[in-house]
Amino acid sequence: MTEFVYLHGFASSPFSKKAAAFKKKFDEMGISLEAPDLEEGGFEDMTLTRQMNILSKCLDQFQGRGACLIGSSMGGYLAVLAAQKREDIRAVYLMAPGFNFLERWMKRLNLDLNDEASWEPSIPIFHYRYGENKNICTGVFKDAMEWSKAGFNRKLPTRIVHGINDEAVGIDESRKFASSHPWCSLHELDADHGLLTHVDWIINDCLMFFRKLKFLPETSDTWTRR
């Protein structure tokens, strides 16, 4: 049996519009879709390491059963990082994955990677769950330095969908990843970072991806687990 896990993006939640659309479809099919809260109620002290620990707890509860990950934005980056370490992750489906997280945010916030002493202890970032700015400790970037050294060498079935009008994570990030990882396929969409204009197409594409890998049945949208 294969389990499925949805990983939400940075400053988002497991109740976002995309997450809710995926959950609705999986519920209709009779398939469980876990969607852990990667902040666990604490955005200010969030780090990639803490998110990885939350994901690991989620995967551990499956007791060795294989899992497929569906990741959005930073959740996509987290999915690829986790897949390098855990053999129980069988495939990943990524939506506008937040590759190059550290460098992108250094540029956006005008922070000097080599001068941590000049960083403010915390910074305000717009949080989509609350619809307002929330502070996050800049320790998230110090933690990200260690993760930025990770290699992505595990040959794992990987599918990326990314909008050509993405203002948050440029599509070149996914193009570079796909071109250097032949086991990864990339589909470009006329969409922004949220991908909400194509969410139905994306869900169907995701299901098709997992069906081709035999993690879902080919012939029906309905599947009751036994």
pLDDT in tens, the chain (226 residues): 899 999 999 999 999 999 999 999 999 999 999 999 999 979 999 999 999 999 999 999 999 899 999 999 999 999 999 999 999 999 999 999 999 999 999 999 999 998 999 999 999 999 999 999 999 999 999 999 999 999 999 999 999 999 999 999 999 999 999 999 999 999 999 999 999 999 999 999 999 999 999 999 875 444 444 3
Tokens for 35?
A: 């969607």
CB 68 within 8 A of CB 215: yes
pLDDT at 57 (0 to 100): 97
Output the pLDDT for position 219: 57
Taking the domains of the chain in order of start, what are their residue ranges? Answer: 2-99+153-212
Side-chain-facing half-sphere of 111: CA atoms under 13 Å:
22
- Measure the N-to-C terminal CA separation of the chain; round to a whole number of Å: 9
- Beginning with the edge strand found earlier in the chain, give each strand of the sheet holding 158-163 in spatial order: 33-34, 2-7, 66-72, 89-95, 158-163, 184-189
Q: Which CATH number fits domain 2-99+153-212: 3.30.360.10, 3.40.50.1820, 3.40.250.10, 3.40.50.10610?
A: 3.40.50.1820
Please report the pLDDT score of residue 1 as a whole number: 82
Residue-wise DSSP of 18-54? HHHHHHHHHHHHT--EE---TTTT-STT--HHHHHHH
Please tell me the predicted confidence (pLDDT) of residue 121.
95
Q: How far is C-alpha 187 from the chain's CA centre?
A: 16
β-pairing verdict for 184-189 and 122-127: unpaired
Determine the pLDDT at residue 217: 85
* Per-residue model confidence (pLDDT) at position 107: 94
